[in-house]
Amino acid sequence: APSLLSINAKPYAFAFPLRYTALLVIDMQRDFLLAKGFGEIQGGNLEAVQASIAPTKKLLDACRSVGMTIVHTREGHLPDLSDCPSSKLVRQAAAPNNTQHKLVIGDKGELGRLLVRGEHGHDIVDELKPLPGEVVIDKPGKGSFWNTTILHQLKARAITHLIVSGVTTECCFATSIREANDRGLECCGIEEVTSGYNDANFKKCTLDMIHWSQGLFGFIASLQPLLDVLT
Ligand code: TIU
């Protein structure tokens, strides 16, 4: 592939230098994608997030085949929860109808202690398992930049552009793009490889907000044009 690639996107074409572009795969963890995980316990609908696993594998394979830098993130906390703010602990225990869940972050669920590092549920699903040499960022927040080394890792590789995928669109995906944009990184989110726990309109609004006003936070593109230029 040529060194400068370009794909159709909103609000206009996204051009990216392959050598200085990373694929960011956000929080494709069992806790967010699988039954009995943290997301389902929170009341999330798993149908859409599970459907994003196969297209994400396609994108991952294409990016790997051209030698792109790959960065995976995992949301989670230290076993003593010392990095989990009480606001998160309390509010992420609340269901949509404001009743308290029986299980909260750190409690033992069927996939292990919820959102705790080292637990089975905290790790990335088998299909998307990071390969040796790929960067794995453990983050205590929704954004990938708060309290992590990601910016140092990206700078060490001279990365200027990010292709962004992962779950959930409304939460960690959107927060990470906004954080990256403030740090001068050019971001393009890919529609088919991000999904959330709400309806299609919720996702559409989240993606529209990213590219609104001449790309306020970044670009949004479809998967196929990206696969076409990578393969
Ligand atoms: N709650 C929710 O929608 N998501 C999260 O808590 N984490 C991520 O989005 N990864």
Q: What is the ipTM of this complex?
A: 0.93
**pTM (2 d.p.):** 0.96
Cα–ligand 1 centroid distance for 11 (angstroms):
26
Across the beta sheet with 135-139, the strand order is 135-139, 69-75, 21-26, 161-167, 186-195, 219-221
Q: Which of 34, 42, 52 to mutate to test the pocket of ligand 1 (most atoms within 8 A of CB)?
A: 42
Distance of CA 109 to the CA centre of its chain: 23
Give the pLDDT confidence of 86-119 residue by residue, as tens digits.
989 887 765 555 555 668 899 999 999 999 999 9
Does an H or E element contain 137, and which?
A: strand 135-139
Pocket lining: 176 vs ligand 1, CB cutoff 6 Å: no
Cα–Cα distance measured from residue 37 to residue 229, given in angstroms and rounded to the nearest whole number: 36
Give the pLDDT confidence of 121-160 residue by residue, as tens digits.
999 999 999 999 999 999 999 999 999 999 999 999 999 9
Is residue 187 part of the annotated active site? The answer reads no
Pocket lining: 169 vs ligand 1, CB cutoff 6 Å: no
Sign of CA dihedral 55, 60, 63, 69: positive
Q: Name beta bridge partners: 16.
A: 5
Cα–Cα distance measured from residue 64 to residue 91, given in angstroms and rounded to the nearest whole number: 38
